[in-house]
């Protein structure tokens, strides 16, 4: 009634399990045999060591017995009781090793020193005798003592110097305070200058001159945009002219043409009158000649400026023989030359005086 395949499978599984168990058992057997071989080898080694130790122990025992017989101890127990404690013996052993090591190092150092001594003796640094070297040493020592005395004197000077520096601190503070007070007087000296007050006078006049130049430039701009007045850098009371038509070149008033000089002079005169008008009203301005040096363009500019001043209520008087001025100025007072060194005037507001 059993299934052959099923039974075969079970038998095969059983065989496989048995084979696996056999492999595991074989491995265990191999391991146990290997351990047995190792233990056997170890046993043989221990037996050899035991035999060697037994022989050595017998030798040591014989040596101990001989030494004990030669010693003052009666038996082994008395020797054991006379021994030092183990800790003390170990300490003494360590100390002995340290002493032996120190002795060995000292012997090495002695050998090195001995070799160095032999080399020095073989190659001496000098051929001079001991007495000569002693005398030289004495001289050098004397020089060292003298130098030490000098160093001591210098140190004393440095100490005195430091003490004096400490004393001078208060003086330096007082000096600095005086310097601060002196700065005020130095500033006054820079402004006032010499005892006659020339520098201060020049400074004050320079400020007034700056104001006049500012007013003159305002009037000059009305006449022409070419010129600008500035004071000289080296002399604050001298005048220079910036020519805008020549790339801003700075020109001296000494090389101005007649027409340029007239325009600059007129601008200065008008600026001066404007300064004076702050305290005093200046209603009249008289110009004596100078128009003959002007070209037509400069003359037109000057007359236009004077006309604008007249429109502001200023009374402008011109003394000139230029015909162009006679044609453009309606109100005139003419001066005619007579014989015998006499002259007569005619014009508006003039009448003949009978004698």
Contact 263, 227 (CB under 8 A): yes
Pair (179, 209) in one structural domain: no
The pair of three-digit structure tokens given for residue 335, joined into one six-digit string: 């001066």
Query: What is d(CA 149, CA 142) in angstroms, rounded to the nearest whole number?
Result: 11
Query: What is d(CA 188, CA 203) in angstroms, rounded to the nearest whole number?
Result: 12
In a domain, 156, yes or no: yes
In a domain, 324, yes or no: yes
Pair (172, 232) in one structural domain: no
Pair (213, 180) in one structural domain: no
Pair (328, 207) in one structural domain: yes
In a domain, 161, yes or no: yes
Write the CATH number for 308. Answer: 3.40.50.300
Pair (206, 274) in one structural domain: yes
Residue with tokens 């060292």: 144
283 lies in which domain range? 199-334
Q: Which of 129, 161, 192 corresponds to the end of one domain?
A: 192
Query: What is d(CA 251, CA 254) in angstroms, rounded to the nearest whole number?
Result: 8
285 beta partners: 316
Number of independent structural domains in the chain: 2
Q: Is the pLDDT of residue 277 over 60?
A: no
What pTM was estimated for this model as a whole?
0.41
Query: What is d(CA 296, CA 324) in angstroms, rounded to the nearest whole number?
Result: 9
In a domain, 120, yes or no: no
Q: Which of 139, 164, 192 corresponds to the end of one domain?
A: 192
Contact 306, 220 (CB under 8 A): no
Pair (214, 162) in one structural domain: no
**Sign of torsion over alpha carbons 187, 188, 192, 195:** negative
* pLDDT attached to residue 257: 77
> 316 by DSSP, 3-state: which?
strand
pLDDT in tens, 203-212: 778 888 888 8
pLDDT in tens, 67-121: 888 888 888 888 888 888 888 889 999 999 999 999 999 999 999 999 998 888 7
In a domain, 249, yes or no: yes
E strand or H helix that includes residue 189: helix 130-192
Residue with tokens 């290997």: 34
In a domain, 170, yes or no: yes
> 234 by DSSP, 3-state: which?
coil
Burial class of residue 193, CB neighbours in 10 A (0-12, 13-18, 19+): middle
* pLDDT attached to residue 256: 80
Query: What is d(CA 143, CA 137) in angstroms, rounded to the nearest whole number?
Result: 10
In a domain, 204, yes or no: yes
Contact 289, 317 (CB under 8 A): no
Query: What is d(CA 116, CA 120) in angstroms, rounded to the nearest whole number?
Result: 6
In a domain, 124, yes or no: no
The pair of three-digit structure tokens given for residue 67, joined into one six-digit string: 């030494």
């Amino acid at each position: 009634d059993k299934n052959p395949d099923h039974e075969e499978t079970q038998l095969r599984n059983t065989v496989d399990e048995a084979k696996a168990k056999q492999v595991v058992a074989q491995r265990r057997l191999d391991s146990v045999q290997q351990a047995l071989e190792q233990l056997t080898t170890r046993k043989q080694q221990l037996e050899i060591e035991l035999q060697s130790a037994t022989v050595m122990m017998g030798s040591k025992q014989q040596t101990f017995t001989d030494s004990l017989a030669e010693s003052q101890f009666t038996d082994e127990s008395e020797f054991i009781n006379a021994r030092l404690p183990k800790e003390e013996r170990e300490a003494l052993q360590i100390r002995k090793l340290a002493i032996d090591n120190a002795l060995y190092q000292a012997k090495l150092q002695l050998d090195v020193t001995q070799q160095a001594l032999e080399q020095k003796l073989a190659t001496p640094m000098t051929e001079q005798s001991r007495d000569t070297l002693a005398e030289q040493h004495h001289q050098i020592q004397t020089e060292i003592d003298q130098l030490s005395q000098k160093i001591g004197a210098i140190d004393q000077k440095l100490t005195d110097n430091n003490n004096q520096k400490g004393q001078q601190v208060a003086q330096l503070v007082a000096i600095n305070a005086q310097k601060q007070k002196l700065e005020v007087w130095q500033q006054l000296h820079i402004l006032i200058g010499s005892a006659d007050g020339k520098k201060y006078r020049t400074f004050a006049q320079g400020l007034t001159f700056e104001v006049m130049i500012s007013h003159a430039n305002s009037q000059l701009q009305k006449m022409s945009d070419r010129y600008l007045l500035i004071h000289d850098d080296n002399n604050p009371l001298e005048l220079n002219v910036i020519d805008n038509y020549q790339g801003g070149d700075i020109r001296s008033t000494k090389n101005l043409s007649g027409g340029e000089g007239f325009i600059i002079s007129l601008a200065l005169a008008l600026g001066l009158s404007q300064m004076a008008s702050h305290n005093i009203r200046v209603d009249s301005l008289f110009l004596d000649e100078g128009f003959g040096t002007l070209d037509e363009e400069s003359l037109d500019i000057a007359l236009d400026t004077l006309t604008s001043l007249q429109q502001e209520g200023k009374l402008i008087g011109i003394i000139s023989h230029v015909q162009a001025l006679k044609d453009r100025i309606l109100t005139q007072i003419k001066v005619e030359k007579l014989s015998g060194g006499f002259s007569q005037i005619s014009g508006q507001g003039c009448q003949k005086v009978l004698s």
